[in-house]
């Protein structure tokens, strides 16, 4: 993801990274922005939950990274390959940083850090099946050595 090198990056914010906010942040120097975190399974398989996500795009909001959460590759891959994102995003980010209890219970966000091998396999499947560069947002583990071993 060369477009991330030496850039001012607006970190993804749950419920706060809509288009108007991203454009405002770009006005004040952000060079790369992220969509709000979207739980891929909810978006792909639960129509009621899908309505909670509002994806808006503007050509001036590039590069833009789609941040997804999930614990299995299939909904993440399907979502990343949706026609609605073609030509609108420049990368995919897997959220492994959300510490909220719902995320931990469902093994989303930093819940994925509990099993480094499973996380590695998940990332490999995503990378092999999406047409975008993939990054992973990590939360530092309480034990620094554990964080380093995951990386």
* Active site residue ranges: 98
56 three-state secondary structure: coil
Residue of 69, 64, 6 whose CA lies nearest to 33:
64
**Total length of the chain:** 151
Q: What are the structure tokens assigned to 52, written together? A: 């909670």
Residue of 134, 128, 51, 132 whose CA lies nearest to 93:
134
Which secondary-structure segment (H or E) carries 52?
Answer: none
Task: Kindly report the number of other CB atoms within 10 A of residue 85's CB atom.
Answer: 19
d(C-alpha 47, C-alpha 49), whole Å: 5
Query: What sign results for the dihedral spanned by CA atoms 125, 131, 137, 143?
Result: positive
């Amino acid at each position: 993801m060369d477009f991330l090198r030496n850039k001012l990056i607006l970190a993804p914010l749950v419920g706060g990274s809509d288009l108007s906010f991203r454009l405002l942040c770009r006005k004040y120097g952000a060079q790369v922005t992220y969509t709000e975190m979207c739980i891929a399974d909810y978006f792909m398989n639960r129509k009621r939950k899908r309505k909670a996500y509002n994806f808006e795009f503007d050509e001036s909001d590039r590069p833009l990274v789609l941040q997804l959460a999930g614990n299995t590759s299939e909904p993440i891959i399907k979502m990343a390959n949706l026609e609605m994102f073609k030509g609108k995003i420049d990368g995919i980010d897997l959220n492994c940083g959300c510490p909220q209890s719902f995320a931990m219970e469902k093994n989303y966000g930093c819940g994925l850090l509990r099993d480094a091998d499973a996380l590695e396999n998940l990332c490999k499947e995503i990378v092999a099946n999406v047409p975008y560069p993939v990054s992973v947002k990590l939360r530092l583990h309480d034990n620094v050595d554990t964080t380093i071993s995951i990386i």
